[in-house]
Structure 1
Amino acid sequence: MSSTPAPAARAARTPVLLGTQMLFNIGFFAVVPFLALVLTDDFGLTALAVGLVLGVRTFAQQGMFLIGGVLADRFGARRTILTGCAVRVLGFATLALSLLLPSPQLALFITGTVLTGLGGALFSPGINVLVSDAEQRRPPSGARSRASLFAWLSVAGELGAVIGPLVGAVLLGWGFVVVALGGAALFVLIGVFLAVALPRRTGSTRQQGIHGRWWSLGDRRFVAFSTLHAADLLAFNQLYLALPLQLTRAGAGPDVVALMFAWVSALTLVLQLPVSRWCHRVGAARTLRVGYALSAAGFVSVAAGALAPLDPTGRIVSVFVAAGLVIVGHLTTNPTAQGLVPRFAGTLPTGSFFGLLSTCGGIAVLLGNVAVGALLGWEAAPALAWVFLAVPLAVAAVWVPRLVGAVGASSGSSLGR
């Protein structure tokens, strides 16, 4: 008897995954954006110390994706997703507990931030595995161009990223403890829902009976691909680091920074699906080349604005242009890169491949942000930070399409290539 699920089951699974991604982001962005405020106001940490704590949290998530992916291969996506939900509930509850004790406990709060990251490192690779599986089972589109499920996942996640801070801001009126407990309660509900909605036997038929291993590390082409593609996540993270700092240097207030975030969210919601259809039409190699080039052009525009004799308004405009180019580049490259994972994996399970792709990005962000922060403070060379960000994107634009072209449809097992 075939192990392929019935069509009705396949149709029901995709909305569950997309809805789950939106709920994940609502719960995440309802809590995490307010961590810096608590660390500053309740614990009296300096900006440097706050950055370090949040950097550790980010690395606990992005840096541990490879482990989460291997566990998804070994124990199944469903089990790792549910475990990730439980760990994030524990993390949010720990954040609340650190402030409920007679005196605020910084060590406990930091433990909670790390646990929230580890929870994401467990459930996100599992979601990617299931979305990839659903994408592979979709019927051929023929001559039509259609958005990939990873593009839909991006839209669903962005909706959650827009709604989450609004929910958190409302709950913050009752204190951060209520915000953290509200996030924990939401992830409890998500976990219960997924325990019922996700089939107990997940993953494609090609993955059944193959135990999870560090398959991705044995594929030299995929390691190179993941390393080069890390430039995309580093560029994307500058929407929250370097570009807001540049706006502040140009004399912009918090309202202008918030407007930039709204601009980025609007572009994501409006353009992700049309961009994905274009990507489907022109092919992965050309898509990636264009996407990396767009992001690089964004940083070049900021560099030009920093060197040119522009007034503050002109510099603010250059940052908005850069943010637009970077986000469109990310909308182009990120779903495409995730969609290529099954081609690299061949007949092997995809969990460790998705994990390595994200882990390389997490390492690039951790190290790259330190370098960007240092270069931004070098007043003698105001464009150097932006050139530093543009160069790896330009390198990726040249080399990644060659790697993609080298991965043929008959790749099979990619181990040791």
Structure 2
Amino acid sequence: MTTGTGLRPATSSLREVTGLPPYLRLLAGTQFAFNTGFYAVLPYLATHLGDGLGMAGWLVGLVLGLRTFSQQGLFVVGGALTDRYGPRPVVLAGCVLRIAGFAWLAFAATTVTVVAAVLLIGFAAALFSPAVESETAREAVHREQADGTARARTLAVFSAAGQAGAFLGPLLGSLLLAAGGDWGFRAACAAGVAVFVAVFAGHAVLMPRRAAVHRERPRGGVRHLARNPRFLVLCLAYSTWLIAYNQLYLALPAEVARATGSQAALGWLFALSSLLVVTAQIPLTRHAAVRLAPRTALTTGLALVAAGFALVPATPAGPGGLLPGAVLVTLLTCGQMLLVPAARGLVPDLVDDRHLGLATGALSSVSGLAVLGGSAASGLLLQAPAPVLWGALAAVPLAGAAAAWLLPSGRAAGEAGRTAG
């Protein structure tokens, strides 16, 4: 009996994946492959730049920041191109650029060549990620209309597949890095190249050939979004989530170092987050989709994230001093599992279908810009007393939850969004 109960979430999750229509299975598999190839390289890039190439710490930080900007900041470009040309050519172009970028990075030895390769890798994601995400959202809506399956359940499979890739990728990279030195990093880059070659081949054969979602050229997309108050509120709420999520790389390492004297245990907390998403995302979203309207799921998720920050100074150190960090990671990840599918599922309700790709990209780009300012501000607070630091961080997603409550509660958002702008 115990074994059967323990296997139930995994069996249920597998059923959700195999129950997807073939095209949605392709898109979910794409997200898994993207993250596997990407995270086989990214976690080890800073060490390669600093130890392998001898770059100064500030230069390493600059290179990593440029990668983030070329990816997150330019999502809006990939979204606009998807609306204009359809998802297939944009995804294929992104794969080609990612293949070239990883191959170049493997042998780049100067600052200029490293920066160029990293920018190419980031821009590749700015092309294919909005294309795949907007196509998944569109297909999730079609599935909901066809058989009544809540779009959040479909998007949860997509999120879980991506997180599974983010979990597997670093393991693959660490095995390849065992070769040591430059050859280990080059082996990791070669694995990334191989993954994206396979993704390119699969999509060249399997992705539908259609010129664009709409035959006419979409016009006035930016104006449409800028005059759409509900979409702007969603961007605001989602931005607070990304600012909070970025604290996994800023405030959490500082907390782990304070509690344990080093950051050696940080990897265990990241593994905890990934395992929570892989094992619980689909069952949690399946139940939430029945019981919670998208606005409620978004608001509840942000409130859980806020609670995670607020509880850090109030949680006893516990075993190894990691209990406050574990509480933060657990609540932040649970909030993520509720709010991310809800936010992505709301986008088709809030914007004209002709601008879905642009809106999907804009949601990430606006949030990415907010993270730049939010990270700088939170960095200034790292030396503040714990109640001040964690209270200020908790206030950000709490403000996002208040903003999210201004959104339409459910599917009625559709017509309101389509008439805006």
TM value normalised by structure 2: 0.87
Cα separation, 1, equivalents of 2:136 and 2:317: 47
Q: 1:209 aligns with which of 209, 216, 238?
A: 216
- Counterpart pick for 2:336 among 330, 333, 339: 330
Question: Whole-Å Cα distance in 1 between the matches of residues 389 and 57 of structure 2?
Answer: 20
Match of 2:408 in 1: 404
Which stretch of structure 1 is more off in the superposition, 337-346 or 147-156?
147-156
Q: How does 1:193-232 map to 2 (within 5 A)?
A: 193-201=202-210, 207-211=214-218, 213-214=221-222, 215-232=224-241
* Separation of aligned partners in 2, 1:367 and 1:313: 35
Give 1:166-315 correspondences, 5 Å limit: 166-172=171-177, 173=179, 174-201=183-210, 207-211=214-218, 213-214=221-222, 215-251=224-260, 253-281=262-290, 282-305=292-315, 313=319, 315=321
Stretch moving more, 162-171 or 320-329? 162-171
Alpha-carbon distance between aligned partners in 1 of 2:192 and 2:314, rounded to the nearest angstrom: 42
- 2:378 pairs with 1:368: no
For 2:386, the equivalent position in structure 1 comes to 382
Question: 2:111 matched to which residue of 1?
Answer: 106
Find the partner of 1:395 among 383, 395, 399: 399
Distance 1:222 1:139, change over 3 A: closer
Return the offset for 1:259: 1.4
The superposition leaves residues 258-301 of structure 1 with CA deviations (integer Å, 9 ceiling, x where unpaired) of 21112111111122112212331221121112111000000001
134-143 vs 117-126, greater mean Cα deviation: 134-143
1:340 corresponds, among 335, 346, 350, to 346
More displaced stretch, 61-70 vs 50-59? 50-59
**Corresponding residue of 2:13:** none
Give the match's secondary structure for 2:53: coil
Please tell me whether the aligned partners of residues 155 and 341 of structure 2 are also in contact (alpha carbons under 8 angstroms): yes
TM-score by length of 1: 0.88
CA shift, 1:413, in A, is 2.6
| Structure 1 residue 69, shift from structure 2 partner | 0.6
Question: Hey, what does 1:137 align to over in structure 2?
Answer: 142
Which residue is equivalent to 1:73?
A: 83
Question: Residue 122 of structure 1 aligns with which residue?
Answer: 127
Whether the 8 Å CA contact 1:347–1:412 is kept in 2: the answer is: no
How many Å apart are 1:158 and its aligned residue? Answer: 1.0
Alpha-carbon distance in structure 2 between the residues aligned to 1:50 and 1:349: 36
- State whether residues 144 and 151 of structure 2, in contact with CA within 8 Å, keep that contact through their aligned partners in structure 1: no
Uncovered stretches (5+) of structure 2, i.e. residues with no partner: 1-19
Distance 1:245 1:261, change over 3 A: same
Cα separation, 2, equivalents of 1:82 and 1:411? 34
Q: Deviations over 1:373-392 (max 9, x none)?
A: 2211x24x233332232112
Residue type of the alignment partner of 1:105: T
The answer to whether structure 1 residue 28 and structure 2 residue 38 are counterparts is yes
Secondary structure of the structure 1 residue equivalent to 2:209: coil
CA contact under 8 A between 1:55 and 1:366: conserved in structure 2?
A: no
SS at match of 1:148: helix
Q: More deviation in 18-27 or 50-59?
A: 50-59
Does the CA contact (< 8 Å) of 2:97 and 2:121 recur in 1? yes
Contact 1:297 1:325 in 2 (8 A): yes
Bigger mean CA deviation after superposition, 190-199 or 396-405: 396-405
Q: What is the Cα deviation at residue 45 of structure 1?
A: 2.8
Summarize the Cα distance change of 1:76–1:218 in structure 2 as closer, same or farther, 3 Å threshold: farther
- CA change 1:60–1:382 in 2 (3 A) is same
Q: Is the 8 A contact 2:295 2:342 kept in 1?
A: no
Give the alignment's Cα RMSD to 1 decimal: 2.3
